[in-house]
């Protein structure tokens, strides 16, 4: 019996094997999930009507520094970066809420989020407990690291939720606002990003620090990965505002560089 051999090897085989994932030439700093059967909408359980999802509206580019793409709090990693702009891990390490799945087109299929990260209200240790109760900005994230498209990029679904007493429903325009308030904090903006005026040419940049690490974040808003739509979007009935759609179709692509680090830390890869 002969086994089937594809005429087209997985894309990661076509990339320079000596380069780590975050340095591979992905053209965009990520692979487009839809090119290999993935989606920019998550899979949310038990929606009404069935089959609704939430937008992956932020991407941390694979061209970010290697420390930032490591899923760790140590050595300036991803969690330390999140903490540098006011977000942290869930309350006392306890997961709250239902899981969502995403398919990043990397060969891993549909996987539940790596973690849920919440606004910490100024207290990196216990502040996310307040977010769990009172609501606020939060996000789920996934890492594009499957065998068919191993970019190392981080895909984020951000939104702003109501208090737990209101079942953590999403506020009006909460997907776009959750994205932009996160970006505003990550780039240390002195004023709120004007969501209604954003286009696919909008850019922001700024610095944040935590744990002895200082990060430079550059953001480009892009179109083409999501649609400007309410179709298929979870909570579309309540999130859409004044006749507009539930999401504006823009994705914020973040490229993060480590500007400084503790003297005892290792050198960037």
What are the residues facing 138 on neighbouring strands? 118, 159
pLDDT, tens only, 228-257? 999 999 999 999 988 899 999 999 999 999
Residue 9 has pLDDT above 80, yes or no: no
What does the domain layout of the chain look like in residue ranges? 19-260
DSSP letter (8 states) at residue 134: H
Grade residue 25 by pLDDT with cuts at 50, 70 and 90: low
The CA distance from 184 to 206, in Å, is: 9
Separation of alpha carbons 189 and 181, rounded Å: 10
Instruction: Decide if pLDDT at 10 tops 60.
Output: no
Q: Are 243 and 260 in contact (CB under 8 A)?
A: no
The residues with which 142 forms a beta bridge, in sequence order, are: 155
Q: Name residue 207's beta-bridge partners.
A: 216
Distance between start and end Cα atoms, the chain: 45
Contact assessment for residue 158 and residue 138, using Cβ atoms and an 8 Å cutoff: yes
Instruction: Tell me which of 130-139, 184-193, 213-222 is least confident.
Output: 130-139
DSSP-derived pairing of the beta strands 213-222 and 203-210: antiparallel
Q: How far apart are CA 168 and CA 171, in angstroms?
A: 9
Q: Assess whether pLDDT exceeds 80 at residue 200.
A: yes
Beta pairing class for 251-260 and 58-60 = parallel
CA nearest to 221, candidates 166, 159, 260, 176: 176
As a whole number, mean pLDDT of residues 88-103 equals: 83
pLDDT at residue 96 is higher than 70: no
Per the CB < 8 A criterion, the answer to whether 172 and 195 are in contact is no
Instruction: Return the number of other C-beta atoms located less than 10 Å from residue 140's C-beta.
Output: 23
Residue 167, pLDDT > 90, answer no
Answer yes or no: is pLDDT of 24 > 80: no
Instruction: Name the average pLDDT for the chain.
Output: 88
Nearest to 159 by CA among 220, 127, 118, 196: 118
Digit-coded pLDDT (tens) for 120-153: 999 999 989 988 888 889 999 999 999 999 999 9
Contacts of 134 (CB under 8 A, 6+ apart): 163, 164
Identify the band that residue 90 occupies on the pLDDT scale cut at 50, 70 and 90: confident
- CA distances to 53, 97, 181, 203 from 221, rounded to whole Å, are 21, 29, 14, 6
Percent of the chain with pLDDT over 90: 76
Compute CA 261 distance to the chain's CA centroid, rounded to the nearest angstrom. 24
Query: How does pLDDT run across 52-74, given as a tens digit for each residue?
Result: 999 999 999 999 999 999 999 99
How far apart CA 145 and CA 30 sit, in angstroms, is 10
Give me the pLDDT at residue 4, please.
33
**Predicted local confidence at residue 216, as pLDDT:** 98
Rounded Cα gap, residues 237 and 51, in angstroms: 15
Q: What is the pLDDT of residue 11?
A: 34
Instruction: Give the bridge partners for 220, in sequence order.
Output: 203, 253
**How do strand 154-161 and strand 136-143 relate by DSSP bridges?**
antiparallel
Residue 249 CA, chain-centre distance (Å), reads 15
């Amino acid at each position: 019996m002969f086994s089937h051999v594809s005429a087209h090897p997985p894309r990661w085989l076509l990339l320079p094997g000596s380069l780590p994932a975050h340095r591979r030439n992905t053209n965009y700093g990520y692979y487009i999930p839809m090119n290999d059967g993935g989606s920019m909408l998550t899979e949310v359980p038990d929606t009404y009507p069935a089959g609704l999802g939430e937008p992956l509206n932020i991407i941390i580019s694979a061209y970010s520094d290697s420390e930032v793409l490591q899923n760790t709090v140590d050595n300036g990693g991803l969690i330390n970066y999140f903490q540098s702009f006011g977000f942290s891990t869930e309350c006392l390490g306890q997961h709250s809420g239902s899981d969502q799945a995403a398919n990043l087109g990397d060969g891993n299929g549909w996987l539940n989020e790596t973690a849920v990260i919440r606004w910490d209200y100024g207290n990196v240790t216990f502040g996310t407990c307040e977010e769990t109760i009172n609501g606020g900005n939060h996000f789920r994230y996934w890492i594009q690291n499957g065998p068919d498209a191993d970019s190392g990029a981080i895909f984020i679904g951000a939104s702003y939720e109501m208090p737990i007493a209101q079942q953590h429903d999403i506020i009006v325009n909460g997907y776009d606002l959750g994205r932009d308030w996160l970006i505003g904090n990550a780039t240390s903006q002195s004023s709120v990003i004007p969501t209604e005026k954003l286009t696919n040419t909008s850019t922001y940049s700024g610095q944040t620090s935590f744990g002895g690490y200082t990060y430079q974040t550059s953001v480009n808003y892009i179109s083409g990965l999501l649609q400007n739509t309410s179709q298929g979007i979870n909570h579309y009935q309540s999130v859409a505002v004044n006749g507009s759609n539930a999401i504006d179709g823009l994705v914020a692509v973040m490229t993060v560089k480590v500007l400084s680090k503790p003297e005892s830390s290792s050198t960037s890869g």
